[in-house]
Structures are given as C-alpha cells and as structure tokens.
Amino acid sequence: MCVCQHPPEVKENVPVESETYPGELENEVEELSAQTLNAKLNAIFKERTDVKSNGLCLDTCKRMVKLMDLDLTGTLSIKEYVALKEKLEFYTNIFSLVDTNLSGTIDSLEMGNALQNAGFFVNEKIRDLIVEKYSSENLSLDFDNFIASMIHLETIFKMFKILDKGNSGSINLSLSEWLCAALA
C-alpha cells in the first residue's frame, strides 16, 4: 500500500481576506490566467526573505490553475487565488520545517518528512521517484521544484479520486483516460 491518506482538500469557501498581503487584492478584478499567475507568484516569492525562489515554471502554474479552478473557467477568480495562496503557504511552511540545515534545498530524507507533513503517505520507492523527477543537483529539491512536486502530486491524487468513483482504491482506465491522466 503506497498511499494511505489524501492531501488537504481544496477549500471552496475561503474568505478573500485570508492569507493575502496588505492591499494585494484591492484592485484585483480580472481572472488570473496561468501566465498572469506565473508572473504574479514569481514577483511575490522574489520579495520574500524566508524562502529562496528562482521562479516557478509556467507548467507548474498551469497545473495550479487546473487544480484550483473549481468553477471550470480555465482561470482563477480571486476566491480561487486566495485558496491557492493558502495552499502555497502550507507547502512553504513545510519546506522551511524540513530544511533543517537551512541549505535552501531538501534531500531525499527531508523529502520523506515533507511528504508525510503534507499528508502524502507513500513508500520509499515512490518518494525516490518523486525526488528523481524533481531534483536538480545531488538529488535535492530547491524550493521551486518542491512546490512543483507538491502541486503535481495533488493533481494526481485529485485525478485518482475523480476516477475512483466507487472509492474502491483502484481504477480501470481506457487508453484515452490513461492518456488524459498522464498528460495532465
């Protein structure tokens, strides 16, 4: 059994005023596309001193939009964006918590702790696959790759939950469904 628990659910009714920076949303009227979100988040993380970010990639932001886009507009409303910010804060805190030597990166062992803290209970083989996929040098993950891995994992969990209609813990996929899942 690789997986015992799902990560925190996406909240549908998060107050707009929570987890935002002062004045950040005052002039927000437009829906955020993945590209706009990418620029916005990179600007925010660049200013922060508690984490070292070199910038999230566009693919990660596309996944974020898909994950948080509850009304299926293809973009994030302010409410959806605030829920995403809360999620990113959750993962940022975990990264800081497990990076005990303050190197700005986390190794395979620390990643195991991070996964558990995030609610992903996976075996060592799965952990190593995640580290191999998202690590850069020395099999360690920097902050941006860590966030990317968490968002990807959540996407996979969410997809499984949708496909596992009877909540049986296993799914049968057609080729078309498999392709959709693998490419998401």
Within residues 72-91, the interface with Ca ion by CB under 5 A covers 73, 77
* Residue number, 32 or 130, with CB nearest to Ca ion: 32
* Residue number, 77 or 92, with CB nearest to Ca ion: 77
CB of 31 to Ca ion, least distance (A): 6
69 binds Ca ion (CB under 5 A): yes
**Is the distance from CB of 170 to CB of 164 less than 8 angstroms?**
yes
CA–CA separation, 98 and 115 (whole Å): 10
Among 9, 30, 59, 71, binds Ca ion (CB under 5 A): 71
Task: Write the CA distances from 99 to 5, 37, 106, integer angstroms.
Answer: 23, 26, 6
CB of 12 to Ca ion, least distance (A): 11
HSE-up of residue 124 (Cα within 13 Å, Cβ side): 2
**Is the distance from CB of 150 to CB of 168 less than 8 angstroms?**
no
Stretch that binds Ca ion, among 68-76, 94-102, 128-136, 162-170 (CB under 5 A): 68-76
Residue closest to Ca ion when measured from CB atoms: 73
**173: which residues sit within 8 A by CB, 6+ positions away?**
163, 181
CB of 149 to Ca ion, least distance (A): 24
* Residue number, 74 or 104, with CB nearest to Ca ion: 74
CB of 73 to Ca ion, least distance (A): 4
Within residues 35-64, the interface with Ca ion by CB under 5 A covers none
Binding site for Ca ion (CB under 5 A): 69, 71, 73, 77
